Amino acid sequence: MDIYRNNLAKIIENNFPPSVPGEINIFKNIISVAPMLKYEDFQEKALNQLARLFLNAGYFGEAYKAARLVPPGKYVEASSCVNLFENFPCRGLTVNLEIDANNNIGCPLPLSVKTAESGNISTQNVETMPLADFKGIWTKIKDYTSLLVLAGPGETFLHPKVYEIIDYVTPTPILIETNGNVQIDAERIVHSCVKELIFNVDAADQRVYEKFHIGGDFKKVADNVKAVSAAKKAFGKGPALTLKHFLFKHNEPYLEEMKLLTNQLGADMAQFIGGIPRPFHGENLIREFMPCGLGAGNCRVASVDFANQSLGLNDDLDSPYCSVPYLNPRIKVNGDVTVCPSSARVVGNIYDNSLLEIWSSEKSVELKKEILSNRYQHSDCRACARAQNNFGRLFEGTVMEREKPPTPSEGHTLWLSTLKIDQEYIDYLVSQGLSKDIEYFKKTNAIHPDAVIPEAFQAIQNATVNPAAYLN
Ligand code: SF4
């Protein structure tokens, strides 16, 4: 308890500069509570106040942690905070909804064990949510939803009634994540409530693009982005356009080209996330795709333990807390509800129950609490990139409740620090004229010391990649 309190006070003092734009008053209030936390005696009152302040500031995970330390029923704020987290969905949820499970392109790293085992790289003719079902679900969730995210793994724009769904949700803001391989009605989008459109790109040209988007067409993506950008200019409104890039071994040398692409296509921003193949993808795919740029910070995994199907994490790059399940449930096309968009854990089905029943079920409450206190205990959560951006980050740099990830077993473990680019891969890069890749891997010390970079490398030294060539 003392460690909690003292760390909290230290963190508040150090990490809440009162200059945070727009939040100055809240942070001033939090800072004013900090000295109370230094007292020797247990400060229920201060924790109660802190819970309220964190809640108002949107730091739900921390609010819940503080409130749980106050004896039940003693203070109204703390009790209602606990009640909110355990029994009622917060109003203002971000809800992810998959309206179509079909996909028109494949991925070499499927999201589920089942798809990986079957060898399927693409789903075809799976399930499409009927419009009437969508309307029924929307009736159940709309009072809690402040942002509706239409996202996969299926492709949203394959849904035959996608624009009717978008119109039906008005005026609730919508975020859509797409592979960009279906022609988008740009004018309809800019006149709708879609406030952000995210294109999964992961490349700046067709060669790199098709390695991760099997059967995909980079030009279609580029044309869609350019069309929506042009419609935005023409009508003076429309969604923010984001190009999202997962970084893997095959595309990390092209980070700069991906950055340039944002302006070239008229997008508003680019997002880069270290990609993480999972143990169920198997050693070959992990060797092929795991980012090598340890020095560049693209790889957040230290080891892959195949015997336990577990990832060992780079301790300094991760935080064990995650409050996403309190804010962002996902509803799959079959109605299954998972606690967050990245977790496979199903806690109910929206066709059978209300969101309130699902939210407050024992199974759901226990799972959310476990993840809030230490997400490492769930395999879905280990190395999850989504958790990086949540409130748990507040506590980084402290030792509070921090647990070391388990040491990988003696069985079959791949240590990524030893995973270097070998001669065979260098020969391949040379044969393709990919000098830029070699330069990048040299710079990040990712080339095996025994590998010989042949003289042929000199001949391709000046080869350059011109993403603009693919955009016309
Ligand atoms: S760590 Fe990731 S998978 Fe786990 S609950 Fe948080 S966001 Fe979801």
Angle formed by the axes of helices 423-431 and 435-443, nearest 10°: 140
Q: Please tell me the predicted confidence (pLDDT) of residue 472.
A: 42
Q: Which has the higher per-residue pLDDT, 212 or 462? A: 212
pLDDT of residue 64 exceeding 60, the answer is: yes
Q: Please tell me the distance between residue 384's alpha carbon and the centre of ligand 1 in angstroms.
A: 6
Task: List pLDDT tens digits, range 341-378.
Answer: 988 889 999 999 998 899 889 899 888 878 876 777 78
Instruction: State the amino acid at position 333 in one-letter form.
Output: V
pLDDT of residue 470 exceeding 50, the answer is: no
The closest-lying atom of ligand 1 relative to the alpha carbon of residue 381 is 4
Q: Is 387 in the pocket of ligand 1 (CB under 6 A)?
A: yes
Q: Is 380 in the pocket of ligand 1 (CB under 6 A)?
A: yes
CA distances from 214 to 60, 153, 218, 463 (A): 40, 14, 11, 26
Confidence tier at 113 by pLDDT (50, 70, 90): low
Query: Closest Cα partner for 331 from 315, 302, 351, 313?
Result: 351
Q: Please tell me the distance between residue 343's alpha carbon and the centre of ligand 1 in angstroms.
A: 6
Run of H or E including 229: helix 218-235
Q: Please tell me the distance between residue 373's alpha carbon and the centre of ligand 1 in angstroms.
A: 12
Q: Is 327 in the pocket of ligand 1 (CB under 6 A)?
A: no
Angle formed by the axes of helices 362-373 and 60-68, nearest 10°: 100
At residue 148, what are phi and psi to the nearest 5 degrees? -100, 125
Tokens found for residue 58: 């949107």
Name the least confident of 149-158, 164-173, 274-283, 413-422: 413-422
Q: Which residue has the tokens 């069985």?
A: 411
- Measured CA to CA, the distance from residue 346 to residue 339 in angstroms comes to 7
Tell me the best of 322, 345, 378, 379 to mutate to test the pocket of ligand 1, counting ligand atoms within 8 Å of each CB and taking the most. 322
Q: Is 384 in the pocket of ligand 1 (CB under 6 A)?
A: yes
Q: Is 342 in the pocket of ligand 1 (CB under 6 A)?
A: yes
- Our measurement of the distance from residue 159's CA atom to the centroid of its chain's CA atoms, rounded to an integer in Å, reads 23
The closest-lying atom of ligand 1 relative to the alpha carbon of residue 323 is 6
Q: Is 141 in the pocket of ligand 1 (CB under 6 A)?
A: no
- Measured CA to CA, the distance from residue 357 to residue 361 in angstroms comes to 6
- Measured CA to CA, the distance from residue 217 to residue 156 in angstroms comes to 17
Q: What is the mean pLDDT of residues 30-57?
A: 66
Q: Is 347 in the pocket of ligand 1 (CB under 6 A)?
A: no
Q: Which has the higher per-residue pLDDT, 39 or 211? A: 211
Task: List pLDDT tens digits, range 199-240.
Answer: 999 999 999 999 999 999 999 999 999 999 999 999 999 999
CA distances from 396 to 101, 273, 276, 278 (A): 37, 19, 21, 24
Q: Give the chain's length.
A: 472
The CA angle 369-112-151, to the nearest 5 degrees, is 75
Q: Please tell me the distance between residue 376's alpha carbon and the centre of ligand 1 in angstroms.
A: 10
Tokens found for residue 338: 């998972």
Q: Please tell me the distance between residue 59's alpha carbon and the centre of ligand 1 in angstroms.
A: 16
Confidence tier at 36 by pLDDT (50, 70, 90): low
Q: Is 381 in the pocket of ligand 1 (CB under 6 A)?
A: yes
Q: What is the mean pLDDT of residues 137-144?
A: 94
Residue 92's region, left for phi above 0, alpha for psi from -120 to 50, else beta, is left
Q: Please tell me the predicted confidence (pLDDT) of residue 297.
A: 65
Tell me the best of 313, 371, 390 to mutate to test the pocket of ligand 1, counting ligand atoms within 8 Å of each CB and taking the most. 371
Q: Is 375 in the pocket of ligand 1 (CB under 6 A)?
A: yes
- Measured CA to CA, the distance from residue 218 to residue 221 in angstroms comes to 5
pLDDT of residue 118 exceeding 50, the answer is: no
Q: Is 370 in the pocket of ligand 1 (CB under 6 A)?
A: no
Confidence tier at 57 by pLDDT (50, 70, 90): low
Atom 1 of ligand 1, nearest CA residue: 381
Q: Which has the higher per-residue pLDDT, 288 or 382? A: 288
- Measured CA to CA, the distance from residue 383 to residue 328 in angstroms comes to 18
Q: Is 48 in the pocket of ligand 1 (CB under 6 A)?
A: no
Non-local (6+) Cβ contacts of 376 within 8 A are 313, 320, 382, 403, 405
pLDDT of residue 259 exceeding 80, the answer is: yes
Q: Please tell me the predicted confidence (pLDDT) of residue 401.
A: 42
